[in-house]
Chain A
């Protein structure tokens, strides 16, 4: 029997994601990939996967899952998401090996929107254009390009959990300092006074937020010379100001090209932290130069590459008490 993870009752917005698709933008194919890259890498590291392996990403709640393999090692990261296995509460940001038939339920988190389930060995699903990242709008990647639905069976590459010790990490909180931006490419579509307003305003995250982007609530940013630019390339992090003057921060599933003026771009190192803001959270932006942003990006990438060093083995004596036998299901 093919080893699998069964989505018994998944959260409403669960997709398979890895670190994203590169090199296909010229053909209209978006980056996609995990909204919070560091959390996906932590999840992978905890279960012993390479950093760019595909895991499950969920928004707000993870839902209920069942192991349909001899055994399977999982880890939940992203925020302080509740995790229970067959009714027993287990720590997040730590790996757990489960047996066939065991069910785990992932609830919500007070400190995050996006959660990740790392699965040892990842999925046995062919990549599309070099990646397993799901891009919902073009129905590409993951499980036939779509959301994970109740009853879906996700084929796993490993039939048994690794023999290595379980691993854990103590996550650092996310700072609430301003989100750093580099002005451009179209700041000349705005008066200096408008840019000043943008930088002085405390915005709020709205409920209009998904993998494509987040709409902000705050004062209008008027355009100095209309709001139609000749469509050109956009990347995750770009802050578009559409006709109504309300900023939209574009995220991983954003289109490859857009026709609204882009006032600025959130720096790479701050983008995952931005994606994790819950609706209603106040935030501010701070302008930095491109050289400073690059120096931060280099350090950030080095930190991502070093995530492995933050993860430690769980000593035998620190392990949770043995898991209870799964309930025999009727029929």
Chain B
């Protein structure tokens, strides 16, 4: 199979596929092309959406044919590396890994044969990458969960997972942006809000960002929870 591949999704969208696996390198190629496409401001392109290993491009067929768009994208691809700017952000996400928030920590400990402390150590010790936002508004798909923390999902999904829940499921880690049903395990809670629909910056994360989790105690959690969203953001944004 030769990559990149240009695959149609009907008559108004196409997918530029860079590979068939999950890796930071493939995802970076996606993020780079996304930046280049957005910088080019082609009238025919209505929106783009990065995912793990491909970039979705929605376009107006009246303004550009599939073949012409593919040609334009090949041209942009050669420029992509150069236009990539340092837009990615490094986040240090404060997490309280204690009741009443860490509902599933005992279950996960049992399933994995690890102590709760060991799970917290592994979770805070890893570096994660935001591969994409999807599934729900502002939901970051985080890659980089240590293999020792890979779990099977809950047999019965929980009807309501609260905003700010720190979750793991399968090979993925997540930070819940909206109250939603989910089969992932809740192991902690952050005062951060990945989705603030009325805020100046409604979406905290972007594809390509890096994330680390930092353990906080109840006292610090309460202090952070009381901060304004802007002040809280300043605290958790770390420079690269």
Partner of A294 from the list B9, B66, B134 (CB cut-off 8 Å) is B66
**CB < 8 Å: which of A231, A255, A293 contacts B52?**
A231
* B12 CB-CB contact with A under 8 Å: yes
Check B92 for interface membership: any CB of A closer than 8 A: no
State whether B52 touches A138 (Cβ < 8 A): no
> How many Å lie between the Cα of A167 and that of B197 in the bound state?
39
Residues in B with CB closer than 8 Å to A128 are: 197
- The segment from A45-53, A66-74, A147-155, A296-304 that touches chain B is A296-304
Q: Do B134 and A290 touch (CB < 8 A)? A: no
Q: Which of A252-307 contact B (CB under 8 A)?
A: 255-257, 262, 265-268, 290-291, 293-294, 296-298, 301
Q: CA–CA, A255 to B52, complex, Å?
A: 15
Residues of A within 8 A of B21 (CB): 230
The answer on a CB contact under 8 Å between A28 and B10 is no
- Interface contact tally, CB-CB below 8 A: 140
- CB contacts under 8 Å to A, within B110-145, are 132-139, 141
Contact residues of B between 143 and 163, Cβ < 8 Å to A: none
Name the one of B49, B65, B138 contacting A291, with C-beta atoms under 8 angstroms.
Answer: B65
Given contacts A22-B47, A23-B47, A230-B21, contact A262 B12 (CB under 8 A): no
Residue B89 interfacial (CB < 8 Å): no
In the complex, A184 has a CB within 8 A of chain B: yes
Q: Does the CB pair B134–A255 fall under 8 Å? A: yes
Interface assignment of B189: CB less than 8 Å from any CB of chain A:
no
A232 contacts the other chain (CB 8 A): yes
Does B202 sit at the interface, judged by CB under 8 A? yes
Q: Is the CB of B137 within 8 A of A232?
A: no
Interface flags for B19-54 (1: CB within 8 Å of A; 0: not) read 011100000000000100000000000111111111
In the complex, identify which listed stretch (A6-14, A233-241, A311-319) lies at the interface while the others stay far away: A233-241
Query: Is B107's beta carbon under 8 Å from chain A?
Result: no
The reply to whether B8 and A233 contact each other, CB–CB distance below 8 Å, is no
Residues of B within 8 A of A257 (CB): 49, 51, 132, 134-135, 141
Contact between A182 and B139 (Cβ–Cβ < 8 Å)?
no
Contact B11 A230, beta carbon cutoff 8 Å: no
The CA-CA distance from A257 to B132 in the complex, in Å, is 9
B231 in the interface, Cβ–Cβ < 8 Å? no
Alpha-carbon distance A234/B203, docked complex (angstroms): 20
A220 interfacial by beta-carbon distance below 8 Å: no
In the complex, per-residue mask of A169-196: 1 if CB is within 8 Å of any chain B CB, else 0: 0000000000001101110000000000
Asked if B66 and A290 make an inter-chain contact with CB atoms under 8 angstroms apart, the answer reads yes
Of the listed stretches B55-63, B93-101, B211-219, B232-240, name the one at the interface; the rest are far from the partner chain.
Answer: B55-63
Assess whether A230 is in contact with B52, with CB atoms less than 8 Å apart. yes
- By beta carbon, the residue of chain A nearest B62 is A298
Supposing A232-B53, A235-B58 touch, asked if A28 and B137 sit within 8 A by C-beta, the answer is yes
**Minimal beta-carbon separation of B43 from chain A (angstroms):** 14
- How far, in Å, is A192 (CB) from chain B's closest CB? 17
Identify which of residues 53-95 in chain B touch chain A, using a CB-to-CB cut-off of 8 Å.
53-56, 58, 61-62, 65-67
- State whether A238 touches B9 (Cβ < 8 A): yes
Interface size on A, residues (CB 8 A): 43
Interface residues on B, range: 35 or more
Q: Mark A15-39, 1 if CB is under 8 A from B, else 0.
A: 0000000111111110000000000
State A243–B139 Cα separation when bound (angstroms): 24
Please tell me if B15 contacts chain A, counting CB pairs below 8 Å: yes
Query: Does B7 touch A at the CB level, under 8 Å?
Result: yes
Question: Do B138 and A27 touch (CB < 8 A)?
Answer: yes
Would A185 and B12 be within 8 Å (CB), given that A138-B136, A232-B56 are in contact? no
Chain A residues with CB below 8 A from B56, complex form:
25, 232-233, 235
| Cβ 8 A contact of B47, one of A26, A290, A297 | A26
Q: Are B62 and A265 in contact, CB atoms less than 8 angstroms apart?
A: no
Indicate if the CB atoms of B50 and A26 lie closer than 8 Å. Answer: yes
Given known contacts A128-B197, A232-B56, A233-B49, is B137 in contact with A27 (CB within 8 Å)?
yes
Give chain B residues whose Cβ lies under 8 Å from the Cβ of A266: 10
Are A297 and B61 within 8 A (Cβ)? yes
Q: Is the CB of A234 within 8 A of B9?
A: yes
For B109, what are the chain A residues with a Cβ–Cβ distance below 8 Å? none
Chain A residue nearest in CB terms to B53: A230
B52/A232 in contact, CB under 8 A: yes
On chain A, the residues within 8 Å of B65 by CB distance are 291, 294
**Given known A22-B46, A185-B15, A294-B66, contact A137–B136 (CB-CB < 8 A):** yes
Chain A contact residues, CB within 8 Å of chain B: 22-29, 128-129, 137-140, 181-182, 184-186, 230-235, 237-238, 255-257, 262, 265-268, 290-291, 293-294, 296-298, 301
> Could you pull out 10 A-B pairs where Cβ atoms are within 8 angstroms?
A26-B48, A28-B139, A184-B9, A186-B7, A230-B21, A265-B11, A291-B66, A293-B61, A294-B11, A301-B62
17 additional contacts, CB 8 Å, given A230-B20, A297-B61?
Answer: A22-B47, A182-B9, A184-B9, A185-B14, A230-B53, A232-B17, A232-B51, A235-B12, A237-B9, A256-B49, A257-B49, A257-B51, A290-B8, A293-B61, A294-B65, A297-B11, A297-B62
